[in-house]
Amino acid sequence: MVSSPEERRRLIHERFPVWPRRTLGAHMRDMCRRFSDRPFIMTADRVYSYGEIWDLARDTAKALIALGVRRRDHVALLMANEPEYVFLKLAVAMVGAVAVPLNTLLREEELDYMLRQSDSRWLFMHWTAAGIEHGPVVARIRERMAKDGPNQLQQVICIGRNTGAADGPFLDWRGFLALSSGVADAALEERMRQSEYPDEVSDIIYTSGTTGLPKGVMLTHDMFLRCAFSTTLSRAFEDGRRVFTPLPYYHVFAYVEGLLAISFVGGAMISMPQFHPRQALALMETHRATDFLCVPSMLVAILNHPDRGRFDLGALRALMCAAAPAPVPVWERAVRELGLEEICTGYGGTEAVASTVHTEVGDPIETVVTRVGRIKPAGCTGLPEFGGANVQYKVVDPFTGEDLPEGAIGELTVRGNTVTRGYYNKPAETAAAIDKDGWFRTGDLGRIDENGYIQFLGRSKEMYKVSGENVSPKEVEDVISRHPAVNQVHVVGVPDPLTTEAGAAFIELKPGASCTRRDIVSWCQNRLAKFKIPRHVWFVDPGNWPMTGTGKIQKFKLQEIARERLVQHTSAREGQPE
């Protein structure tokens, strides 16, 4: 029997009465000693203990030193969710270098840009990740770099294929690890001592962005650990919690809300290289997962899988589903069919490390659906100027930047000790996003209610105007998602000759359900003002959504699809309902 949230939090407070400002390496050294024999990383074919992960990280760190990696060198990681990622990421921190985690869905042009812009001197990669062969692509990029001048990318270390001359100038993983034998333990200890600066940048993580080139968010060791500890406290992790997530390690959701957060309570991380619902169910059963981190599309896939009833998920009791809205019926099914006792959603962003707000343990579904949470408790990590928290929020006018009164709808802004100081080598973008007092403009629309809970209303740039009236896509999505035939819905604004802009709804129906545009419009008529009812309604088959590597719907691509469809309409039908 798991104790109450209050009791679990009391134990966490007792374990960490004072915040030990440390680097990621120093933190994990302590946790790996404390929980040495406990499982830490669990996969389909192997379980690694904390002690094993630390030993592997030490060997990897010595190999990094032998390779020539210096303090503050930038080390890029283009890797799948495999155990090597965990101990390599830890090793990079141990030697005082800066990790640059890269999305494994990147294409050649994007990868070329990020490697150059980040000044990465070393690249570790899986030959194949996310179903993409990266080896030939990286070989071409490195060849171009060599022609452009002094070779910025000094060495590429490849995992998963026997690399030779035909495959490009790569060092294989075994050859890399063999370098560790030439570095003494004392040399590693001295490098770790030299690197004990919690406020130095540990990671540069690129935002995906819908416009413009990606930006590298600079985050420090201390920022990561404060944010992760705050999650441990907010969600009231019990000792030894086992978190399953198919989300990629290169993204802050899995890395901070999962891997780092569970380390404070000696928990385990259950992961898989790519999400497949049946394999996910098998892993949760085999390793007795108690918690599930996911995005809505993954949760829906688990709930709808025809074999779900064949798996024993009796240990599962908690869920955090975030990064995109999930409708009431999905949450209700999750609680009812998975036997969940604690559900949570949250909100944040890479610029603030990960989540800054969570819904409270025990909040009803209605709150979880209509709010993204309140500022997470921080315990010993918080600061007095933020009321004991790590961050504070306010709402500003999205056009003028002026502060808005309590309860008003506007752009959410945040500052605090987990908020980035800027983007790597992008001073203009940094100045545009962060003001002189440290307030970061999130680009998200929302309001803060009387209880301190944030209501997320979409991206400020996603808001559109119909005949001069502002429409928040999130409000329309909330209404349509309650239709009994609707599985998920996403609304975007598109140009319209009569009203300047109009709403376009993309809808995925539940398996076996049928619905028409007329049904959706009728459903909206008694629930939304006329100008908010989408003029265009299109139905999407499961699996055909444009997605990011972390499972988010790419709304800018939906807008492109909508515009293409509208262009194809005959002039006789322009402005008429679809």
- Is the same domain home to 491 and 554? yes
Please tell me the pTM assigned to this model.
0.84
> Can you give the pLDDT at residue 497?
79
Owning domain of residue 528: 464-573
pLDDT of residue 314 exceeding 90: yes
Is 276 part of any domain? no
> Can you give the pLDDT at residue 374?
97
Buried b (16+ CB within 10 A) or exposed e, 48-59: bbbebbbebbbb
Question: Any idea what the CATH number is for the domain that residue 448 is in?
Answer: 2.30.38.10
- Is the same domain home to 66 and 191? yes
- Is the same domain home to 508 and 491? yes
Is 503 part of any domain? yes
For residue 212, what pLDDT band results from cuts at 50, 70 and 90?
A: low
Cα dihedral: 382, 388, 390, 392 (round 10)? -170
Domain boundary among 173, 197, 221: 197
Cβ-count burial of 506 within 10 angstroms (0-12 exposed, 13-18 middle, 19+ buried)? buried
- Report d(CA 127, CA 120) in Å as an integer: 18
Starting at the edge strand found earlier in the chain, the sheet holding 155-159 runs: 170-172, 155-159, 122-126, 74-78, 98-101, 201-206, 216-220
- Is the same domain home to 58 and 165? yes
- Is the same domain home to 171 and 145? yes
Give the residues across from 203 on adjacent strands: 99, 219
Give the pLDDT confidence of 112-150 residue by residue, as tens digits.
999 999 999 999 999 999 888 999 999 999 999 988 877
Is 239 part of any domain? no
Residue 443 host element (H or E): strand 440-448
- Is the same domain home to 57 and 192? yes
- Is the same domain home to 104 and 117? yes
pLDDT of residue 574 exceeding 50: no
* Rounded percentage of the chain residues whose pLDDT exceeds 70: 95
Structure tokens at 477: 């999505």
What are the Cα distances from residue 275, in Å, to 64, 131, 170, 203, 208?
A: 31, 12, 28, 25, 20
- 535: CB partners within 8 A, 6+ apart: 496, 502, 503, 504, 577, 578
Is 311 part of any domain? no
pLDDT of residue 566 exceeding 80: yes
Strand, coil or helix: 539: strand
> Can you give the pLDDT at residue 96?
98
Is 77 part of any domain? yes
- Is the same domain home to 453 and 474? no
> Can you give the pLDDT at residue 567?
86
Cβ-count burial of 324 within 10 angstroms (0-12 exposed, 13-18 middle, 19+ buried)? middle
Domain boundary among 459, 478, 497: 459
- Is the same domain home to 474 and 407? no
> Can you give the pLDDT at residue 17?
96
CA of residue 200 relative to chain centroid, distance? 22
What is the C-alpha end-to-end distance of the chain, expressed in Å?
A: 54
- Is the same domain home to 93 and 183? yes
Task: Give the number of domains in the chain.
Answer: 3
